[in-house]
Structure 1
């Protein structure tokens, strides 16, 4: 009986943590969208480290390597990096 009780507590704890993480991710995404709108309104552009090297890779048709370089330079996720590299073309 004690093991069943502990298992239920663990499951409830995991569920609560997962719910909070999901909420935090949604909040972060909303804040990022707002920040993007502000930057766009002010006509400001994010500085990309090693942008020249990434653009050179794109021009050479080495899109996968450009995405990898973008991710390494900025810490972006795969989708964000692909979208950014696509905008460079």
Structure 2
């Protein structure tokens, strides 16, 4: 009986994991589309503390700039690095 319960729990966890993964992929796809729309309209996302981040880049403190960008936007490492590269 314990094996059946384990199997049910395992399958439930795998199903949830799959659904979360699918939702993440859909969210990423929507973000890419939104980025394209913003770029097409020549609109730019307002970045809090932008001046501070740009100043850090100019001072050669790219790592600190990426860290600050991540703190204020909640972006991941790769996204923050790309954004800081665009700002600098």
TM category (shorter chain) comes to over 0.9
- Superposition TM-score, scaled by structure 2 size: 0.96
List alignment gaps of at least 5 residues for structure 1: none
How many residues were matched structurally? 88
Q: How far apart are 1:10 and its partner, in Å?
A: 1.0
Q: Which runs of 4+ in 1 moved over 3 A?
A: none
> Aligned-pair RMSD on alpha carbons?
0.7
State the match for 2:35 in structure 1. 36
Aligned residue runs from structure 1 range 6-85, under 5 A = 6-85=5-84
Separation in 2 of the partners of 1:33 and 1:81? 15
Separation in 2 of the partners of 1:85 and 1:18? 32
- Superposition TM-score, scaled by structure 1 size: 0.95
